[in-house]
Structure 1
Amino acid sequence: MVEPAAPACRRWLVLGLGLAAQTASCAFLYGLPFLAPAMRAAEGFSLATVGAVVAAPSAGLLLTLIAWGAVTDRYGERIVMAAGLGVSGLLLGFASVGSHPVGLLLGLFLLAGASTASVNAASGRVVLGWFTAAERGLAMGVRQTAQPLGVGLAALTLPALAEQWGFRAALLLPAGLAVLVSVLVAALVIDPPRPEPESGTGRSASPYREATLWRLHGASALLVVPQFAISAFAPVYLVAVRDWSPQAAGWFLAVVQGLGAAGRLAAGYWSDRAGSRLRPMRLLAVASAAVMSLLALGDASLPWLVPLALALAAVITVSDNGLGFTASAELAGASWAGRAMGAQNTAQNLAAALTPPLLGLVIGESRYALAFALVAAFPVLAVRLVPVRSESSSGAQ
């Protein structure tokens, strides 16, 4: 990566705008399920139809992440981030006006998800481009807090807006937020320096000719499995198996969600001090396997362990996200950073989409201990895949 030389105020402004862009994107992508009950009530959709509509943005995201990364590598971060987020906001604004048939609504959400995918690669790339190797871990940790911020914003606002004004009117909040942030990005973000093409060819050699990035993407996908096992099944587990009230479970999980965001920041700071992304990532994989095993033990025979194990798991299993994302860009080099981050996100999102339904088959009615024990095997596999030696030899830091 090119080492930037920018005033501190400019770098932190860029980081703040990258965080705002990613938060706006997450408020739409992960906030749409909060509108599902109002959508069913207003439109009379079946549960399957609502599920398809809610899943459409994620499908659009998955289909376009790598393509947006390639566009970012070629044309720069500011224009990609501003255009993609702005188009997404306009599509959501159109969806909120009038009554649309389900096919059109699904198409609008699919295109909006495809458009907002630009933010994933571009916001990470612009942050990484303006921060030095000794600062990138913390900077990316700050950016990675966008997901809990976006989910929290959606949870606090969208159901109430939908109840008062209807789900279409509620869409105006993520739509307006996306358009507003896109304007700020276009006006205030400056692209970081671009590297010179290697050997005067005008094109840099693909880092995917080596196994390093393939291994990193694979390890990161494996580490997503325990994260989404916790996020998908912890609420129902606490209520149905441990007899917690829904309110108590909700408050407990809200607190650990905040601790998880702090864990991302701490992991990023740790990687900056250690001069490595992948050594901390491998140690977090070991910790993830250990805490999922602890959770399985608690469910099987030591119930008093369950709250502690769940809290630890909710923090540890999300803390590596920013490390893998940062390492992907650093190992790929500036010319390929956008594509590498797009591939990293694609692998993680595929694992996230597959984890709840497949793990649900294992759990059945009550086999939680077995499921948690099986999940512990995924970070064990990731420990073997994390390419620590390649990071040391590449001089990515």
Structure 2
Amino acid sequence: MQERLATLSGLEARLAARVRQVAPSGIRRFFEIAATMDDVISLGIGEPDFVSPPVAIEAAIASLRAGKTGYTANAGLIELREAVAEELARRYGVHYDPAREVLITVGVSEALQLAMLALVDPGDEVLIPEPCFVSYAPAATFAGGRVVYVPTSVENDFQVTAADLEPYLTSRTKVLMIGYPNNPTGAVLRRHTLEEIGELVIKHDLLVISDEIYDRLIYGRAYEEGHVCVPSIPGLWERTVLLGGFSKDYAMTGWRIGYACAPEPILKALYKLHQYIVMSAPTMGQVAALAALRQAQDDVERMRQAYDARRRVIVDGLRAVGLPTFEPEGAFYCFPDVRSTGLTSEEFAQRLLREEHVAVVPGDAFGPSGAGYVRCSYATSMEKLQEAVRRIGRFVERVRAARGVET
């Protein structure tokens, strides 16, 4: 037994360095703890509480009953690729050849990793504005890239600008990773900001990966102005890998359907990787996604409006209990500042879960600039959000009273 334990303990050192140097997801860690407790309100996981659109479910069931249980073409159903291309052209004026420039993937997670593997050589630098989704840096690391974080701040609405990016450019900089609407902050990028970034990208001959999974979930001024699709910016179409999917906008997380769009020479590389890694995305998921694109737009808008109402409840509620909270205009997250409690992000999240059974995620799980914040997902019911705000308020009052700080 001792010999076996010694052997097992030595195995970790034999793992690839690129895997050993990446920490487990900070999001999943709190979710797993919460799963062992009773009466927990989870504001931790970015998963819609809505059921997928009925039309998508029925289409998938019908396809299974019709015996459509085999592979699709490696690149995905041509009908789905055509529908994706049509939707992007209609909404944002960006045009892709569905036969050569659209790839259906196993969620945006696969699309992200394919893009990094296709574009990044060992030692290439990848600029990643942060706070950001936890998978961006690991995806770059797994491809052999060097992650260069570019901090953003609440003072600038968590928008990254060309002026922010320029000091981090070196001769090794190759890729800019953009993720807006942003997870975890809910920030969006304005058109003029993207245009300035576009000029910088062209000047320094960079490539861009743009994660736009939350493109339909925007609110307030951002909704009035409309989402700005990165490849719609002059000069960026030919330099951008556009990532999107169905998990968030359409509440279809478990179907695992995403897509990547790019100019043909780039997409060929993603396609080659995709062929060897996964073969094709799930057939029934593709059928469901096609039905959703064609017939579930009212469902998307209904969910967007519900998120908007929840957004107001949680943002106003957190502000009312004394936690400064940035006004999110996209996705379904808010990012309150907890520094006034005297606790770190980690301490706040751990104690809140233990004492009040509310799960949130420490802000620094999303990058160094997230220190002092926590991420709260409002992709849960209004009743649970209202109760969560009450519990958070009770917790904050108790913590401040113990420190002798007035609420």
- TM-score scaled by length of structure 2: 0.29
Q: Counting strand residues as a fraction of each chain, which structure ranks higher?
A: 2
